[in-house]
Every structure is written in structure tokens, then in C-alpha cells.
Amino acid sequence: MAGFREKGGAVPHYHDHRERLRARFDEIGGSRLPDYELLELILFQAIPRVDTKPIAKALLQRFGSFAEVLAAPVPRLMEVKGVGEKAAHHLKVTYAAAQRFLKDPVKDRPLLDSWSAVIDYCRAAMAYESIEQFRVLFLDKKNTLIADEVQQSGTVDHTPVYPREVVKRALELSSTAIILVHNHPSGDPTPSRADVAMTKSLVDIARPLGIAVHDHIIVGRDGHASFRGLKLI
């Protein structure tokens, strides 16, 4: 307790608040806490002797949502008053842990039997990125995940994709099926003409080689779009 005393021996006001918030978390769980309180709990370990409530609220105000705070790049996180390198790093570790948690249900099992888990993982991995990324989920003949690889990164509204390179990598991994995934940083997952044309080209190259394109999923803050669901594949 002595380490938490201010000048004159007084206990800082936020110390009791931290204990009360930890108790509330133990009592009702994280899902029932407001976003700023859950962020406070995450920040407690990285910022030990500061009132983190204003910092948590400032982060949410700057980035818009809990998920967008965790997904924000370290330099942008550190633009918020009170967020140093240690706190920013701690938030990114939390984000990585959340992604790992969501990836576990899609490992070592047929992905087509766990479609909602696939969507959840893809959204967590990519929906809040500030630039476009194109990744491929490579599957074996049982539709079990072999590899999950980011093939290209681009700009805020474009990623160069080379279908022959995707198919070449599938052959290297002995993959018989793939799921294409990319994000729209604008938030709107609606496929563009370029998205449709690229997907058709990739399907046409992959099919004669015995590689099935199960779907192309576009994710964004506002949801996701499935080419198979839209009958574009």
C-alpha cells in the first residue's frame, strides 16, 4: 500500500477505484463491463500509478470502439495523452491474444464445418486494419487449415494481388482448396469490380490444377461479404 501513497501519506483516489473495478470484474465478468472499464483493467498493469479512466475514455473517443483501440498502430496509440510505449505495447499484446483465441476454433478441424468461427477470426484479424491486406487460408483435402498467410499489403483502398502467385503457393503447400480473405478499411465490405475480376481470374487458374476456391470473404468494420453467399463464385 505504501507505494500507492501520495505526498503527505494520502492514498490516491484511483487506488480504491482499481480495487472496486477488479471486484466488479470478478463478480459480473468482463462482458457486462462498459468498454472504458474493460480498457482500464487492461491498462492497470502497464500504467500502475495513474488514474486510467480518463485515458481509457480518450482512447475510445479517438478510435471509436474497443476493437479499434486494440487494432490501432502503436504510434497512433501513443498520440493519446497518457499512453506511453509500455501501455501501447500492452494493448497490442492483448489484441494478439484475442486473435489467437479466435483462431483456435479454426485449427485442426474442417473449416467448412466451423464457418461462423472462420468469419469471427477473419474479422478480428483484418477488419480494423488501416490498409488493405490480402490473405489466403490454405486447406487440405479434408478442408483442414494448412496455413494462413498474408500474401500482400497495399494502401487504404487497393492491394495488388497476383493470382498465379497464390496458386503457386497452394501447390507448394499441397493445398487442394483455398479461402481468400481481404479487408476494406473504409468499413464497407461490398465487393468492387476489381475484387470480382481478380477472384474470377484466380478461380479460372486454380480449377484446372485441382484447387478449389471455396470463397472470397471481404471484412470491414460494418460486417462482411461472402462471394459464395452473393453467388459471385
> Which CATH number covers residue 50?
1.10.150.20
Per-residue confidence at 178, pLDDT binned at 50, 70, 90? very high
- Residue 204 parent element (H or E): helix 193-206
Question: Same structural domain for residues 203 and 133?
Answer: yes
Question: Same structural domain for residues 90 and 181?
Answer: no
Last residue of a domain, one of 100, 120, 140: 100
What are the tens digits of pLDDT across the range 93-137? 999 998 888 877 777 677 777 788 888 888 888 888 888 889 999
Q: What is the pLDDT of residue 50?
A: 86
Q: What is the pLDDT of residue 191?
A: 92
Q: What is the pLDDT of residue 155?
A: 52
Q: What is the mean pLDDT of the chain?
A: 86
Question: Same structural domain for residues 212 and 171?
Answer: yes
Which of 70, 178, 182 minimizes the C-alpha distance to 126?
182
Q: Looking at per-residue confidence, does 116 or 159 come out higher?
A: 116
Per-residue confidence at 45, pLDDT binned at 50, 70, 90? confident
Question: Same structural domain for residues 116 and 58?
Answer: no
Range in 41-55, 151-165, 177-191 the model is least confident about: 151-165
Helices (DSSP H) in 64-135: which residue ranges? 66-71, 74-77, 85-103, 115-126
For residue 188, give the C-alpha cell: 464497407
Which of 181, 179, 193 minimizes the C-alpha distance to 218?
181
Question: Same structural domain for residues 222 and 202?
Answer: yes
User: CA 1 → CA 6, 10, 53, 155, 213, distances in Å?
Assistant: 11, 10, 20, 50, 60
Question: Same structural domain for residues 126 and 209?
Answer: yes
Cβ atoms of 19 and 3 within 8 Å: the answer is no
Q: What is the pLDDT of residue 2?
A: 42
Question: Same structural domain for residues 95 and 114?
Answer: no
CATH code, domain with 122:
3.40.140.10
Question: Same structural domain for residues 149 and 197?
Answer: yes
Mean pLDDT of the 5-27 span: 72
Question: Same structural domain for residues 146 and 186?
Answer: yes
Q: Is the pLDDT of residue 4 over 70?
A: no
- Longest Cα–Cα distance of the chain, Å, equals 78
Question: Same structural domain for residues 165 and 128?
Answer: yes
In a domain, 72, yes or no: yes
For residue 122, give the C-alpha cell: 477473419
Question: Same structural domain for residues 127 and 218?
Answer: yes
CB atoms within 10 A of CB 142: 11
User: CA 62 → CA 58, 78, 108, 203, distances in Å?
Assistant: 6, 11, 38, 41
Round to whole Å and give the CA distance between 150 and 140. Answer: 18
Residue 82, φ and ψ in degrees, nearest 5: 100, -10
Which of 108, 116, 109 minimizes the C-alpha distance to 229?
116
What range does the domain containing 121 cover?
A: 109-226
Q: What is the pLDDT of residue 1?
A: 40
Domain tally, the chain: 2
Q: What is the pLDDT of residue 43?
A: 94
Mean pLDDT of the 203-224 span: 93
How does DSSP classify residue 66? H
Last residue of a domain, one of 77, 100, 123: 100
Cβ atoms of 52 and 87 within 8 Å: the answer is no
Highest mean pLDDT among 22-31, 35-44, 96-105: 35-44
Round to whole Å and give the CA distance between 164 and 202. Answer: 7
Question: Same structural domain for residues 117 and 212?
Answer: yes
In a domain, 119, yes or no: yes
